A = this chain, B = another copy of it.
């Protein structure tokens, strides 16, 4: 299932270049992680871990995008976030010592470092700077989650879809053809917004008629950012 590693990235170099939380580590600490970590490659579509399972470590993304989602009562997936290079995932379960409460799946071929559970609490204990940054990182994610609760509870599907497109734009940027770099199925879009696939399709083509976006297959180009912001009532 996994490919052979190409070149294993060194934590200190990697963290600095992709702005990971590990940049707050000392040389010794990052050497230790380098030694103990497990570099893994996953093909697009592979599941890294599943909701409810016990995991023995957490992941730091080096390349690729991973979607993190929960499965609702009726089996429908709700995408909680996307992780990109520099992000860590599964840290919540590791720190709380609980089974995973989300599933993580590679959206693209990706390279990740798997770091055993015990490292994280050790670092929190041994490196106060790191501890504080970790706390900030989690606080940040919590703040985002709370905003999203408010949005999803109060905004219409149309507003939320516009907002999601903007977030994807700000988080992942665009490719050479000015399309959103992240490529999602309509169903995945629906699973972020919290709506039905058909609704996403209909709204996307409305957005297109309103000259807010261009569509070609799975590619989405935002051509009127201001318009989308106004429609979504979203400000960064």
Contacts and interface: CB of A to CB of B under 8 A. Distances in A.
A149 B145 contact: yes
A139 to B, nearest CB: 5
Contact of A143 (B101, B125, B136, B193): B101
Contact of A92 (B98, B125, B142, B152): B142
Number of copies of this kind of chain in the complex = 2
Contact of A147 (B101, B125, B138): B101
A143 B73 contact: no
Given A135-B124, A135-B131, A138-B138, A149 B150 contact: no
Given A70-B150, A101-B147, A131 B124 contact: yes
- What is the predominant secondary structure among interface residues of chain A facing chain B? helix
Contact of A76 (B139, B143, B152, B154): B154
Given A142-B138, A153-B152, A154-B73, A125 B124 contact: no
Contacts of A154: 72-74, 76, 78, 194
B149 A149 contact: yes
A140 interface: yes
A149 B69 CA distance: 11
A138 B125 CA distance: 17
A128 B102 CA distance: 27
A50 to B, nearest CB: 16
A150 B95 contact: no
A217 to B, nearest CB: 26
A100 to B, nearest CB: 10
A21 interface: no
A226 interface: no
Contact of A73 (B138, B146, B155): B155
